[in-house]
Structure 1
Amino acid sequence: MTTLIINALVVNENTIQDLDVLIENGHIKKIGKDLQSTPADRVIDAEGKYLMPGVIDDQVHFREPGLTHKANIYTESRAAVAGGVTSFMEMPNTVPNTLTQELLADKYQIAANTSLANYSFFMGASNDNYEEVMKTNPAEVCGIKIFMGSSTGNMLVDAPEVLEKIFANAPCIIATHCEDEPTVRSRMEYFKEKYGNDVPYNIHALIRNEDACLISSTFASSLAHKHKTRLHILHISTGDEVVLFEPGIRQNGQILLADGSKKLVTSEACVHHLWFDAEDYHTLGNKIKCNPAIKQPHHKEAILQAVLDNRIDVIATDHAPHTMEEKNQHYWQAPSGLPLVQHTLNVMLELSKAGKISIERVVEKMSHAVADCFQIKDRGYIREGYAADLILVDTNADTLVEPANIYAKCGWSPFEGTNFGSRVTHTFVSGHLVFENGNFNEEKKGERLLFSR
């Protein structure tokens, strides 16, 4: 089926233009100002709406296999496309952990059968699977994930000789969770002894503090520079870490430094670290308990400034759902992580409405820069010949977050009760109109992401 989108405000490569876009055979066939007379099976008049490349979320936890009481690839990809996320990269701390090439292949097969969005999966590293990690195919796998802090599961990599070997020989980009484990453990024991079960509202930010993040991010950065390794540090949660990163420039499908050399160390900000702060623990408590922790208000301002300065390169979610029953446990037992993927674009467009970031920069950080950072093949831009991963957004319509319209399997959101001033009306995944005004067409599944490496 060919689809012609007319009268759209196309947000692409730092411009907004009134254009028409023709979709054919899953790709963008033509872009122009006068395509209205072009024959097409379906015509969508996008008058007054923004047409953007689909959001690429480089960090999600969709929980399959092994934790499917919380979520699975089908349910979470459904939530993703409803929010304008057309591609995701999923993490290896499922059950079993994705520590072999066989287990990695199993996840790809599940996604091929069930995912409504395009997909890729990180290969997990541990202290004893070096040989398996080295088998990772850089053209078909988004990257290697190293937990340099035991966020969840049993995937902490803390053996110095293993870290040195992986950084020295990694076949593709390394993505790290950076929190210093000794710091976190010592502070946890200190606060358990001090408060017992009568914990202060913001204890999570006190345990997983700025020092824990900075120590680990500094160490990871030093390894990357020592071995000339491409490193991507996930979910920056402090302004303290920003000094580790240099401003990047997108050019020829890569992120470079001002002198034209490759930017070895890139980084990511997540929407919850830009939206919430430690004062929100008063009202939301464990609902916003996540690792690394949401911290004091000045950090979210510093993180956003680093996004604007191109020190932080991309924006993602770290979508990590748990059931409400799990979250309602006492602080010491409640798991970390929150569901975010359905409203990630709404959050950033709300910040744009507040004058904090332009719509063009939102698209850059959530689509263009992600594609360049990971060197995704033919996605992330509105260009002729590229895959038609496209979304239409109405910034004159509201999205009220309430249980009835939450698609994540866990059924709740930290944004419940928020009325965002934007709405995703259409989502195309590889040319297939999978979501339209609240309705899903699940006849076609997403595609596996490929990489130009």
Structure 2
Amino acid sequence: MPSTLIVNARLVNEGREFDGDLRFEDGRIAQIGTGLSARANESVIDAGGRRLLPGMIDDQVHFREPGMEYKADIATESAAAVAGGLTSFMDMPNTNPPTLDAEALENKYRRAEGRAWGNYGFYMGASNDNLAAIQSLDPLAAPGIKVFMGASTGNMLVDNPEILDSIFRDAPTPIITHCEDTPMIDAELARYKAKYGDDIPAACHPDIRSREACMKSTQLALSLARKHDTRLHVLHISTADELALFEKGPLIRADGSRKRITAETCIHFLRFDRADYARLGNLIKCNPAIKDASDREALIQALTDDVIDVLATDHAPHTLEEKARLYTGAPSGLPLVQYALVAALELVHEGRLTTSQVVQKFAHAPAQLFDVKGRGFLREGYAADLVLIDDTPFTVQREDVLSKCGWSPFEGTTFRSRIASTWVNGELAWDGRQLVGQPRGERLAFDR
């Protein structure tokens, strides 16, 4: 295949923004420089000064396959992801059946082959009765082990203290945790049901799934990680309160060492707050809950201050029919991958973050944290997972949503940037208007 040369780009990588050119061939970045000359038969793209980023790596998605394909699957959701500039994803284990052993894990990899538009990794899940499977997990087979330390579905709530301690002691990969205290949530839900029945106002969700429940569970996870020196990544931080628990500073320190305990927040916590329940109701019901405007402001500042290390989506689609149910029957989660990067870039337009910071939190840091091999950076020899940004406004319309669920919480929102092109492994996958070619995603490799 002929090589491709992108000229006159504004490259954003490793804390720098600079004008330059980038050549890729055979799926890899071959050359980065200035004034690069086109070769014979080479495809040349004039970026016209637009920003060129490494493809984003989303370390938290729920693509619902196997078992819930009526609302999402690997093919549809990865298509939405590449349309949004997300070229790699790590999918959660709470499927049906759940991913609790090596056989279930490899089944998901087989399902993704030839169908995933982006590069893919799948987490092993934890339960009260799969400790042996966790202890025997090949560390090259999964990005990490997901532990639900809060309410979840099926057999994936780990509430046995001895098992939990053993998982933190023996995990051969990083542990990622959902931290909410289930007994506290159950008690609050019972109190609100006594008052409202099943028709609880959606605005009560952050009080039922309270900041206190988040704080208690996060403190437990951190205490176990410190006891066993576990590599722990706490997902979807939603409160200002929890931020004081985490170390401030870069993921990779000046001496080359890496934080052992890291934190993540999600795009919906940066764009919505309690006031939005009046407009969107159960559409923004998610776990943990979207909380107050003061929490949103604190989370944005924590990204700037390097208290929060990673930005992700927690993409979790449900049908509109499901979301239209009364509160107690409406599932938690919302579809986000298609518009997450442009929503993050809106914070750049607002002067709250820089493009370099978005790239650090959404591409570099996930690659570093999970030891992803050869992705997440604009570096010669790395995979040509690339995103070209066009600063032309557009308004999100329902008919443009690619997720199988067919809706977005951002409908009607006007963003000031759009995804002009996405390349996955050197192949154009999104041309700014539609998907191009065939799914070219590859299994993520881990350099451990």
Identify the TM-score tier after normalising by the shorter chain: over 0.9
Count of residue pairs brought into register by the alignment? 447
1:337-378 C-alpha deviation (Å, 9 max, x unpaired): 000000010111111101111111111111111111111111
2:427 aligned to which of 432, 439, 443: 432
Give the Cα separation in 1 of the matches to 2:398 and 2:154: 29
Q: Which residue of 1 aligns with 2:68?
A: 67
Give the Cα separation in 2 of the matches to 1:158 and 1:51: 45
Q: Which residue of 2 aligns with 1:344?
A: 340
Give the Cα separation in 2 of the matches to 1:297 and 1:312: 18
Give the Cα separation in 1 of the matches to 2:241 and 2:175: 22
SS in 2 for 1:232: strand
User: Would you say 1:178 and 2:174 are equivalent positions?
Assistant: no
User: Would you say 1:408 and 2:409 are equivalent positions?
Assistant: no
Query: Could you tell me which amino acid in structure 2 is paired with residue 366 of structure 1?
Result: F
SS in 2 for 1:249: coil
Q: What do you get for the CA RMSD once the two structures are aligned?
A: 1.3
SS in 1 for 2:114: helix
Give the Cα separation in 2 of the matches to 1:316 and 1:39: 40
Query: Could you tell me which amino acid in structure 2 is paired with residue 297 of structure 1?
Result: A
SS in 2 for 1:332: helix
Give the Cα separation in 2 of the matches to 1:211 and 1:380: 35
User: Would you say 1:319 and 2:327 are equivalent positions?
Assistant: no
Residue 28 of structure 1, CA deviation: 0.3
Residue 198 of structure 1, CA deviation: 4.8
Q: Which residue of 1 aligns with 2:46?
A: 45
Give the Cα separation in 2 of the matches to 1:203 and 1:387: 45
Q: Which residue of 2 aligns with 1:148?
A: 149
Contact 2:38 2:44 in 1 (8 A): no
Give the Cα separation in 2 of the matches to 1:450 and 1:383: 17
Contact 1:6 1:36 in 2 (8 A): no
SS in 1 for 2:18: strand
Residue 194 of structure 1, CA deviation: 2.2
User: Would you say 1:108 and 2:129 are equivalent positions?
Assistant: no
Question: Aligned ranges for residues 116-135 of structure 1 at < 5 Å?
Answer: 116-135=117-136
Q: Which residue of 2 aligns with 1:248?
A: 249
Contact 1:4 1:40 in 2 (8 A): no
Contact 2:286 2:332 in 1 (8 A): yes
Residue 261 of structure 1, CA deviation: 4.5
Residue 35 of structure 1, CA deviation: 1.0
Percent sequence identity is 54
Unpaired segments of 5 or more residues in structure 2?
Answer: none
Query: Could you tell me which amino acid in structure 1 is paired with residue 174 of structure 2?
Result: I
1:277-298 C-alpha deviation (Å, 9 max, x unpaired): 0110000000000000000110
Contact 1:116 1:442 in 2 (8 A): no
Give the Cα separation in 2 of the matches to 1:390 and 1:442: 16
SS in 2 for 1:268: strand
Give the Cα separation in 2 of the matches to 1:198 and 1:173: 39
SS in 1 for 2:277: helix
SS in 2 for 1:5: strand
1:396-430 C-alpha deviation (Å, 9 max, x unpaired): x1232111110000000000011111110111111
Give the Cα separation in 2 of the matches to 1:422 and 1:259: 36
Give the Cα separation in 1 of the matches to 2:315 and 2:154: 16
The structure-2 alpha-carbon separation of the partners of 1:389 and 1:196, relative to structure 1 and needing over 3 Å to count, comes to same
Unpaired segments of 5 or more residues in structure 1?
Answer: none
TM-score, reference length from structure 1: 0.96
Mean Cα deviation higher: 150-159 or 99-108: 150-159
Residue 216 of structure 1, CA deviation: 0.3
Give the Cα separation in 2 of the matches to 1:227 and 1:234: 19
SS in 1 for 2:364: helix
Q: Which residue of 1 aligns with 2:387?
A: 391
Give the Cα separation in 2 of the matches to 1:220 and 1:157: 12
Q: Which residue of 1 aligns with 2:219?
A: 218
Residue 230 of structure 1, CA deviation: 0.1
Give the Cα separation in 2 of the matches to 1:179 and 1:303: 18
TM-score, reference length from structure 2: 0.98
Residue 113 of structure 1, CA deviation: 2.5
SS in 1 for 2:328: coil
Residue 274 of structure 1, CA deviation: 0.7
SS in 1 for 2:338: coil
Query: Could you tell me which amino acid in structure 2 is paired with residue 80 of structure 1?
Result: A
Query: Could you tell me which amino acid in structure 2 is paired with residue 441 of structure 1?
Result: V
Q: Which residue of 2 aligns with 1:375?
A: 371
1:69-124 C-alpha deviation (Å, 9 max, x unpaired): 00000000000000000000000001001111101100001111210100000001
Q: Which residue of 1 aligns with 2:441?
A: 446
SS in 2 for 1:145: strand
Contact 2:9 2:46 in 1 (8 A): yes
Contact 2:117 2:438 in 1 (8 A): no
